[in-house]
Structures are given as C-alpha cells and as structure tokens.
Amino acid sequence: MAGRTVAPEAGLLGTKLHVPLPRRELVPRPRLTELLRVDESRMPRLVVVSAPAGFGKTTLMTQWLASNSCRVAWLSLDPMDSDLRRFLTHLVAALQTQAIGVGAEALALLDTDRAPPTQSILVSLINNLDQLPGSTVLALDDYHVVEALEVHEALTYLLDHLPPRVTIAISVTGSSWIIWWRRYCVANPTTSAASSSPPPCCMS
C-alpha cells in the first residue's frame, strides 16, 4: 500500500495523533490492568474504558497499549470531530502514523465538495486494514465528545466489518455514548462485558 497522505490543508492537528505520555509516576491499578489483559493473538473487537472525567481513562488506555506489542493508531477526539469528514480524515491520519498507505483511497474519496461517500470510504479503509500484518489497535480517546449520529454510524459500520486482527478501543465519560453502546450491544448479542453495564472496561 502506498500513495496519498493527508494534505496539510486538511487542518490536521498533529498532537491529536500522539499517544499521551505520563507526566508523573503512576500508581498501579492492578484490578483494571488485569481486566484489560488479553491474549494478543485473540484481541477483542472493541474495548471500552468508561469512567467519570479525570478518573484516569486516558492513562489506563496508554498503560494497556504500552504493555502489548500491537501497532497503535491513536486519535484524541474533540467536539469538532462530530463533523464526519473531519472525523474520517483524522482517523486516516491516525492510521497513517503507523502504516503509510492505509486510507490513501479513502482520502481520495473524501476529497469531494459533496457529502462524502461514507460507505465506500469505510469499505476501502477496512480492506486496507485487512491487509496489515500483525495486530492493530485504533484508540479513540474521549469518544463521548462526538455527538453526530453519522459518526456513530460510521464507527458502528467499522466495528461490524472489522478485520480479525484489528481492535477499536474507546474512552468515554458521561452517559450520552451509552445510547450508542446499548444499540451496539443489541445488534451484537455476543458482546461481553468484563464488568457491569455500563462497564468501566469492557471487551467484545
């Protein structure tokens, strides 16, 4: 895979793509890190870390990701990512930090004045992800800031068709995302939660 990368004029904020580094010595959280322990050859499709604001969700996700050898594409979301085009552009940029050619065709499809052809973009992205060797985690930090139904639908489509070696990990706070989560669980009855619902950490 090679080709198109996100253009500088796309308004990309590069710091949204960095896995945050801990700024202090961390207190061990064995119960939570144990919940997130997984066999890397059998990575879950979805990992959700949910807790109130400031409870250490981002830190826990980074600890978990640092403890395994998967490829990690990180995206810190902000309220402007409720715009589908911006969300998809940043999603591709996050993946391209780890695998340069991923999403080249998706970017070409996004480059239109009309509404982006979401399904074609996602199909192309999923096919690219399917060709990647090894395991990949796409981490979406602060997913609760996304309010747009079309972004939730895009993520649901991605989850529904995710290649077997790809995991989506999201951190969320508040309750607005639970509507999306419940809908996802109803559509995917095999979803298992490692804790009660809504869970602090869960996997499917």
Ligand X SMILES: Nc1ncnc2c1ncn2[C@@H]1O[C@H](COP(=O)(O)OP(=O)(O)OP(=O)(O)O)[C@@H](O)[C@H]1O
Contacts (CB under 6 A) with ligand X, residues 57-86: 57-59
Q: Which is nearer to ligand X, 59 or 128 (CB)?
A: 59
**Helix or strand holding residue 105 (H, E):** helix 104-110
Could you tell me which residues come within 8 angstroms of residue 188 by beta carbon, excluding any fewer than 6 positions away?
159, 160, 204
Percentages helix, strand, coil for the chain (3-state, rounded to 5) are: 45, 15, 40
Applying CB under 6 A, the span of 46-54, 80-88, 149-157, 176-184 interacting with ligand X comes to: 46-54
- Residue 128's binding partner out of ligand X, Mg ion, none, with CB under 5 to 8 Å set by partner kind: none
- Residue 81's binding partner out of Mg ion, ligand X, none, with CB under 5 to 8 Å set by partner kind: none
Contacts (CB under 6 A) with ligand X, residues 134-173: 142, 173
Residues 85, 118: contact at Cβ < 8 Å?
no
C-alpha–C-alpha distance, residues 171 and 201, integer Å: 9
Q: Which is nearer to Mg ion, 58 or 167 (CB)?
A: 58
C-alpha–C-alpha distance, residues 147 and 77, integer Å: 11
Q: Which is nearer to ligand X, 19 or 148 (CB)?
A: 19
Single residue of 50, 58, 62, 191 touching Mg ion by CB under 5 A: 58
Q: Binding residues for ligand X, per CB under 6 A? A: 23-24, 26-27, 29, 51, 53-59, 142, 173
Binding site for Mg ion (CB under 5 A): 58
